[in-house]
Amino acid sequence: MRRIRTGIIGCGKVGHIHLDAHSSITESELVGVCDSDRERAGAFAAQCGAKAFTDLEEMLRDGGVEAVSICTPHPLHAEPAIQAAKAGVHVLVEKPMAASLSDCDAMLAAADASGIRLGVVSQRRFYEPVMRMKEAIDAGKIGRPVLGLFMGFNWRDEAYYQSDPWRGKWSTEGGGVLVNQSSHHLDMLQWMMGEIDEISGYWANVNHPFVEVDDTAVASIRFKNGGLGSIVTSISQKPGLFMKIHIHGSNGASIGVETDRGPSFVAGASEIVEPPLNDLWTIPGEEHLLAEFEAEDRASFARVNATTHYHALQVRDFIQSILEDRSPLVTGEEGRIVVEMFTAIYRSNQEGTPIRLPVTE
């Protein structure tokens, strides 16, 4: 089987998760890493036997890479993604796709012009209970999805915001809980419910006076299929409680997943210690399966390192999409929808009116 020659851009905390993911799959041959910090790039490269670069143009020109993972802070995703696309290199970019719609559009335009694959990380889609929900919806087991809820109650302390100079500022992070801690669940909500017609919402900063951005947000969604949605997300609950997606169907059946529970997971700073589990399942004739699902998923969780395993599944899907000439599970267009969603909520709060999608910058 042919292997894709890959590279990693950004050798920080999330970069190490991608290093483990690429190293664990046979489809990827990691040949180059790039970081502006020469010492960090060198140490990172030594872990995997790849060549270290401090200049992205040089790596794209001389490194022999065919695909890259972009693991820089999200406000810095666009420039390396566009550079890679122009060089004919496929791009998998960490979540969220960008801090602004203009960056998303520039990335999509570059990918389209070069004909490369552009994917966005949303590894929670690969959780077994999440996949189980999506399969049930696609099979029509709940009828039409008519009500979708995302509930997220989490915690971030002052030390978290001080860990990187770009965090907590509108000008550098682009937002708060909606942008950084909710993008996975915004993605899963739209993935399960379908296209969005309009969003109205509010945000607040209730107990993080040391940052500018939102720590709490609520929103209502109207979907094009006639369904409704609700978002309540916050990082103001110490030490963190849970993150859930519940979908209710037109036949009265309901399904749900608790993707995160207990103390907050911070990429590169902590590990996932609790398994994601289905916490709601009332499909007619399948109600009794909930306990079986839990036992199965707890056993699966015990066999893997969940902090890196699901990244590896998505990296493999992306690499295989190149080899098989197909779209990855999470495309650049879907990554843009998440940025549309949080942009619409911020704009709705500012203008005091619902915001129709699609949204422009």
pTM across the whole model:
0.96
Residue 269 is predicted with a pLDDT of: 65
Could you give the dihedral angle defined by the CA atoms of residues 95, 100, 102 and 104, in that order, rounded to the nearest 10 degrees? 10
Residue 205 is predicted with a pLDDT of: 98
Residue 157 is predicted with a pLDDT of: 95
The CATH number that domain 4-123+325-329 falls under is 3.40.50.720
Could you please report the per-residue DSSP string of 169-180? -HHHH--SIIII
Report strand pairing: 90-93 vs 118-120. Answer: parallel
Exposure string (b/e) for 102-134, b if CB count within 10 Å is 16 or more? ebbbbbbebbeebebbbbbbbbbbbbbbbebbb
Domain chopping of the chain, boundaries: 4-123+325-329, 127-304+336-351
User: Distance (Å, rounded) from C-alpha 149 to C-alpha 75?
Assistant: 28
Divide the 361 residues of the chain into consecutive groups of 10 and give the mean pLDDT of each group. 95 95 96 96 95 97 97 96 98 97 98 98 98 98 98 95 94 96 98 98 98 98 98 95 97 98 72 92 97 97 95 98 98 98 98 96 76
Do the domains at 4-123+325-329 and 127-304+336-351 have one common CATH topology? no
* Strands in 322-361 per DSSP E: 355-356
Residue 268 is predicted with a pLDDT of: 63
User: Distance (Å, rounded) from C-alpha 93 to C-alpha 292?
Assistant: 35
Nearest CA to 28 among 45, 6, 1, 12?
6
Task: Name the strand (E) or helix (H) holding 78.
Answer: helix 78-86
Cβ atoms of 194 and 223 within 8 Å: the answer is: yes
User: Distance (Å, rounded) from C-alpha 146 to C-alpha 54?
Assistant: 49
The CATH number that domain 127-304+336-351 falls under is 3.30.360.10
Nearest CA to 271 among 87, 41, 88, 17?
17
Residue 273 is predicted with a pLDDT of: 85
User: Distance (Å, rounded) from C-alpha 101 to C-alpha 77?
Assistant: 12
111: left (phi over 0), alpha (psi -120 to 50) or beta: alpha
